[in-house]
Structure 1
């Protein structure tokens, strides 16, 4: 039962039958709006042009129910028309198409927020990305994890469970950049947990030193103020061993720069080491020669000051 005010301000108890009648009335109203919308869309559906109003109505209907496959197919037809139009406009065609497709991707995001399991929305998003002149695939990996967080929040999976899940994914493949990123969004580092993360990432870089994914995660861990000078020194010693095994790996040397740059800056030994490291990087990574020369100059200046 529900309560409703009468004309005299008194509370009136709405019966079950009245509730059913009210619900039926609301459903009929929604159904009527749906039928009018579909009639508008189908009456303007043509092979060589589209109606912007009908396209807007289809967006509204899909936001309420993202599993209306007819409407996704309609929108695909519109996109194909926009692609043809863009090919005729050599100046602004591609830019306009990119903007149009980005709006289409935002629509699928809205639909997936309402229903993360909507197959129609996922399929349409994938199809749009394949037609996109400049698809951002890295961003898609991030979206997948965002949707996962949305789902786990709804079904009550704990943070511990998710950390274990990310650990399993990384153990299966240390090169999984999206898993490293996802773990960084879950993990709030403190003095207790930072040691665990350093051990994990050390195992990863020793397994595949040439892969950049774990190195970026290492840099994120090292940026945390709870990492002690002792832990940094231990990792630096481990990298000395790794360099013996992988003397041509630029990531090992770059990590040494990160570590020595964040230890005791007034210690001349560390400054001398950085000079040595930047000279090595000039040989191992010549595409960033200008950047390393700047760093080398700054390190040499510090050497003169502390001499």
Structure 2
């Protein structure tokens, strides 16, 4: 296994014999007094002084790799340190498999750090061996299921290598994530990337069937959690991608805007389908008996349908109902 300095106590570089040949370079010239100095620790200041000396000397060495590891532990967002490490690895012809193993630990430790994920991308690009990466990424998503950098790396990996075996389980994987947390907006975004944003793969040539599948899937999720904005946004995205009018989903949306107060119906009962209560419409699944109605997101959707159809008066009435009663926290966004 690759060695790590994370748990090792280190002497300052200024007192190490193996660094005595370098003259440290401080961040500022003597006598310079910055207005708002950054309060670096002595450990970090010492390491950076020697890093500057190393870069100025143009040295790419094993001790340079050790220094960058130490600095990454102290400040994992330092882009120049990462870049120097990458250049040194290439200069020394270091075994990148060992570096990838080291990266496992670093990425898990600093999972929200962009530079760590970018370094891993450079390694995989050079190694051209992505087979175990999806399982690594999935483990990282268990640690933080909505981490932007992790998702961006996953999508890059799929697009970069474009291997059928990498794509094969992705839709099932994202459905598992949405079953665990149907409010995971990152998982919804990844689903859209898989279905509409990454080309057409074998078995998905019938795009009309794909759109029908996605509409059904999304409406089923809305029926489970009607106030989930991620699913409503996805519904809009599917319709827009298919160049379908929002009004295609009028019957479905109206199920979620009927007020439980008989004296305050947003949508008169006469406009709704009169199907028996015990009949399940698979194309338009309704809310559960426990759902809080009307759903503000559905009112907004119905307002967009009215606007789409040129019924300005109805659209204004629906949006005003959001601002004055059903979604007053967003009043400034709805009514200006």
Shorter chain as denominator, the TM-score bin is 0.5 to 0.7
Shift of 1:122: 0.3
What is the alpha-carbon distance in structure 2 between the residues aligned to residue 41 and residue 235 of structure 1? 74
Q: Tell me if 1:236 matches 2:253.
A: yes
Gaps of 5+ in 2: 1-17, 25-41, 88-95, 115-143, 198-206, 258-285
Partner of 2:177 in structure 1? 169
RMSD over aligned CA atoms reads 4.4
Q: Tell me if 1:259 matches 2:256.
A: no
Q: Tell me if 1:287 matches 2:287.
A: no
Partner of 1:205 in structure 2? 222
Among candidates 181, 184, 190, match of residue 192 of structure 2? 184
Partner of 1:53 in structure 2? 52
Q: Please give the per-residue CA displacement for 1:209-267, whole angstroms capped at 9, x wherever unaligned.
A: 233222222222232243256632333344345499422532222222233333x32xx
Partner of 1:103 in structure 2? 79
Partner of 2:71 in structure 1? 74
After TM superposition, the score normalised by the length of structure 1 is 0.53
What is the alpha-carbon distance in structure 1 between the residues aligned to residue 305 and residue 148 of structure 2? 28
Report if the CA contact (8 A) 1:243-1:249 is conserved.
no
- Give the number of equivalent residue pairs: 214
What is the alpha-carbon distance in structure 2 between the residues aligned to residue 223 and residue 75 of structure 1? 44
What is the alpha-carbon distance in structure 2 between the residues aligned to residue 170 and residue 253 of structure 1? 24
Q: Which has the higher contact order (CA 8 A, sep 6+)?
A: 2
Q: Tell me if 1:214 matches 2:231.
A: yes
Gaps of 5+ in 1: 1-38, 80-99, 130-137, 295-307
Partner of 1:142 in structure 2? 148
Shift of 1:44: 6.7
Q: Tell me if 1:119 matches 2:104.
A: yes
Report the CA distance shift for 1:259/1:187 in structure 2 as closer, same or farther (over 3 A): farther
Q: Tell me if 1:277 matches 2:318.
A: yes
Shift of 1:180: 0.2
Report the CA distance shift for 1:272/1:124 in structure 2 as closer, same or farther (over 3 A): same
Report if the CA contact (8 A) 1:257-1:274 is conserved.
yes
Partner of 2:268 in structure 1? none
Residue aligned with 1:101, SS: coil
Report if the CA contact (8 A) 2:303-2:315 is conserved.
yes
Residue aligned with 2:77, SS: helix
Larger deviation, residues 210-219 vs 228-237: 228-237
Report the CA distance shift for 1:275/1:102 in structure 2 as closer, same or farther (over 3 A): farther
| Structure having the larger proportion of residues in helix | 1
Report if the CA contact (8 A) 1:210-1:251 is conserved.
yes
Report the CA distance shift for 1:224/1:185 in structure 2 as closer, same or farther (over 3 A): same
Shift of 1:204: 1.4
